[in-house]
């Protein structure tokens, strides 16, 4: 494996210097198990969201600075919604694009605004007795418990971009 930045053996890059595949859709057509096995940088590159060089530079910067790769990728221009979509797929979480899915305002108002802002959570709709709630990280167990208490019943968390949730709460 060769580091594209300096031509030395790669310590922090995960890509070989082979020609890039044609641009792919925003979510590569991998199964959930396959998505979980790929590092974030690979998913970003294979989705055609950033060039190999850009991903490798972001990897190097993240390693140097000790910051998370996702933070660096955002600074390099990766849209937050795409980062969130890939992270959700990588973690086996359901992703919801709030711009493409209607919000049931009656359900959204079940969660007091202060709680919605504190947990960055937005109730979207009901499915039977269960309230579907969008959060930036659906793996956050403490949020699940607190939101279940605040909504007085069963909930299912789905993942959405933090900025999309905040924008929807403000509307």
| Residue 17 confidence (pLDDT) | 39
The string of DSSP codes covering 108-169 is HTTS-HHHHHHHT-EEEEEETTEEEEEES-TT-HHHHHHHHHHHTS-EEEEE--HHHHHHHH
Mean pLDDT, the chain, whole residue set: 83
Q: Which domains, from first to last, does the chain contain?
A: 1-92 (no CATH), 105-170 (3.30.300.160)
| Residue 4 confidence (pLDDT) | 32
Question: Token pair of 83, please?
Answer: 């980062």
Torsion angles phi and psi, residue 138, rounded to 5 = -70, -5
**pLDDT tens sequence across 30-80:** 455 666 678 999 999 999 999 999 999 999 999 999 999 999 999 999 999
Report how far residue 9's alpha carbon sits from residue 142's, in angstroms, rounded to the nearest whole number: 42
Q: Supply the pTM of this predicted model.
A: 0.75
Q: Residue 129 contacts by C-beta under 8 Å, 6 or more apart in sequence?
A: 153, 154
Half-sphere exposure of residue 54, counting CA atoms within 13 Å on the CB side?
16
| Residue 111 confidence (pLDDT) | 95
Read off the pLDDT of each residue in 137-156 and give the average, rounded to a whole number: 88
Half-sphere exposure of residue 155, counting CA atoms within 13 Å on the CB side?
27
Report how far residue 135's alpha carbon sits from residue 138's, in angstroms, rounded to the nearest whole number: 6
Q: Indicate whether 135 pLDDT > 90.
A: yes
**pLDDT tens sequence across 102-121:** 999 999 999 999 999 999 99
pLDDT tier, 140 (very low <50, low <70, confident <90, very high otherwise): confident
Question: Token pair of 3, please?
Answer: 């580091």
pLDDT > 90 fraction of the chain, expressed in percent and rounded: 68
């Amino acid at each position: 494996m060769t580091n594209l930045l300096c031509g030395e053996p790669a310590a922090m890059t995960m890509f070989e210097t082979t020609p890039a595949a044609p641009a792919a859709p925003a979510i590569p057509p991998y199964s959930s198990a396959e998505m979980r096995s790929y590092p974030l940088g690979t998913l970003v590159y294979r989705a055609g969201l950033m060039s190999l060089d850009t991903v490798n530079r972001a990897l190097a910067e993240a390693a140097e600075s000790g910051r998370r790769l996702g933070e660096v990728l955002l600074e390099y221009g990766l849209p937050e919604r795409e980062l969130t979509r890939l992270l959700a797929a990588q973690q086996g979480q359901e992703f919801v694009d709030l711009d493409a899915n209607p919000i049931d305002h009656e359900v959204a108002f079940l969660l007091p605004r202060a709680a919605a802002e504190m947990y960055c959570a937005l109730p979207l709709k009901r499915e039977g007795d269960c309230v579907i709630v969008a959060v930036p990280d659906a793996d956050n167990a403490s949020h699940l418990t607190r939101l279940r208490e605040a909504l007085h019943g069963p909930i299912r968390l789905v993942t959405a971009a933090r900025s999309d949730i905040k924008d929807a709460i403000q509307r």
